[in-house]
Amino acid sequence: MAEEGVAEEGVAEEGVAEGSIASPALVTHGRGEAVIQRHTITPRSPDDVLVAPELVGLCGTDLEIIDGTIDPAYIHYPITLGHEWCGRIVGSDGQLGARVVAEGVIPCRACRFCVIGQTNLCETYDEIGFTRDGAAAGAIFVPRALLHRIAEGVSARTACLVEPSAVVFRALTLANMAPGQKILIVGDGTIGLLAAYFASLWHPRRIDMIGGRKEQLALAQRAGVSRFTVDPNGVEDEYDLVLEAAGRPAAVERALSASRRGGTVVLVGLAGTGTTAGFDIDQAVNGDITIRGSFSYTSAAFRDVVGLINDGRVDPSFLITHQFSFARSDAALRRLRHPDGERGKIVVDLSDLSTTDPGDASRSNHG
Ligand SMILES: [Zn+2]
Ligand SMILES: [Zn+2]
């Protein structure tokens, strides 16, 4: 029983702690592959709620986790992947069957950051899919306080995009947004596309995008981009806001050079531990440019995105271009690693889990 917490004396079967659940899970040790295997999870607190994941989105960060290139301070191996997801409550009270999403960043609510709402900077970093098992599995335990109900009529395809949307929304709220602005997004991956889509909430004059692949044009247009180009010099100058979501040194340099005097540059793209970029120092100083990094999301940003989605004001589900069964997670990861044609968000559908034989060990080899 989840309500009894981690019962060390209560052994359920074969030395497994009471309350534990075993199910197939997409697990990685950070050595270049992720494998579906039987994996046991145990509630950490009496307040943990058991949820059955429905859809799990994959992103470049998952590849960094698989490859072991992610900053070691932000990962515990082995780990079940899955930090962008939605599911249905299976193990708790009157909310049985309710569709939910959960904040992945688990704040202590007591440290100097948490008490002022900067829960993304909590001193005890703990995040679903990074330091505790994620949702690419038959079951996941989530602290009750981090669950958010999804409104009736909102699809799983929409709900599973709350997490990356919260990353973007939080970054935009740092960006001195105002109506009528000229915005440049550098990067045409899901975060860049979501940034364009959510930036429309502030009624900008135009949103331009420097992408890496021309196949992303149609998605960019659906996200509200006015001008899409793969030529780094194919856009205007003097942007009020530049959001960098490519995570490459040249893209960061381009982002800084595209800002107007007094403009804001927000960096959300991760480039890999230790990667550095150069930029024109005098241009940044004389330009009075605000350079901001934005890490993950705060509880407030996550709640705001859930509200926007539940109210029907946004629906980013058009960004999902690929859906794979859980048994084909290896194919999903290959598609993520080797983009081909139009590619938005790639999701894995957990509804076939009952037929996935972990003994059949679908393997994802990358190297
Ligand atoms: Zn992600
Ligand atoms: Zn804290």
The DSSP bridge pattern shows strands 147-149 and 320-325 to be unpaired
Output the CA 63–ligand 1 centroid distance in Å.
10
Which burial class, exposed, middle or buried, applies to 106 when counting CB atoms under 10 A from its CB (0-12, 13-18, 19+)?
buried
How much is the pLDDT for 356? Answer: 53
How many angstroms is it from 18 CA to the middle of ligand 1? 31
Can you name the CATH fold of 175-293? Rossmann fold (3.40.50)
Handedness of CA 233, 166, 116, 62 (dihedral sign): negative
The domain segmentation of the chain, as residue ranges, is 2-165+297-365, 175-293
* 7 pLDDT more than 50: no
**pLDDT-based confidence at residue 16 (cuts at 50, 70, 90):** low
Cα(296) to centroid of ligand 1, in Å? 9
Please count the other Cβ atoms lying within 10 Å of the Cβ belonging to residue 257.
Answer: 18
| Antiparallel, parallel or unpaired: β 227-229 and 206-210 | parallel
- 194's enclosing H/E stretch is helix 190-199
45 C-alpha vs ligand 2 centroid, how far in Å? 17
Q: How far is the CA of 184 from the centre of ligand 2 (A)?
A: 33
Cα 112 to ligand 2 centre (Å): 7
Give CA–CA dist 86/149, Å, rounded: 10
| Total Cβ atoms within 10 A of residue 336 | 20
Question: What pLDDT was estimated at residue 272?
Answer: 81
* Separation CA 141–CA 49 (nearest Å): 5
Q: Find, among 267, 86, 301, the residue nearest to 191 by Cα.
A: 267
pLDDT score of 167 more than 90: yes
Ligand number with the minimum distance to the CA of 70: 1
For residue 34, pLDDT over 70 is answered with yes
Q: How confident is the model at residue 93 (pLDDT cuts 50, 70, 90)?
A: low
pLDDT at residue 54 tops 90? yes
What is the DSSP pairing of strand 320-325 with strand 345-349?
Answer: parallel
Instruction: Return the percentage of the chain with pLDDT > 70, whole number.
Output: 90
* pLDDT above 70 for 177: yes
Q: How confident is the model at residue 95 (pLDDT cuts 50, 70, 90)?
A: confident
Weakest mean pLDDT among 69-73, 127-131, 332-336: 69-73
Question: Distance, CA 269 to ligand 1 centroid (Å)?
Answer: 11
Question: pLDDT band at 154, cuts 50/70/90?
Answer: very high
CA 161 to ligand 1 center in whole angstroms = 9
Res 14 pLDDT > 80: no
| pLDDT for 273 | 80
Buried b (16+ CB within 10 A) or exposed e, 152-175: eebebbbbbbbbbbbbbbbbbbbb
Report every protein residue that has its C-beta within 5 angstroms of ion ligand 1. 59, 61, 84
Tell me the CA–centroid distance for residue 144 and ligand 2, in Å: 17
Instruction: Specify the pTM.
Output: 0.90
Distance CA 235, CA 257 (A): 12
| Per-residue pLDDT at 251 | 96
Ligand number nearest CA of 117 is 2
Q: Say which CATH superfamily domain 2-165+297-365 falls into.
A: Medium-chain alcohol dehydrogenases, catalytic domain (3.90.180.10)
Rounded to whole angstroms, how far apart are CA atoms 274 and 76? 19
Residues 6+ apart with CB under 8 A from 138: 21, 23, 24, 25, 52, 53, 350, 353, 354
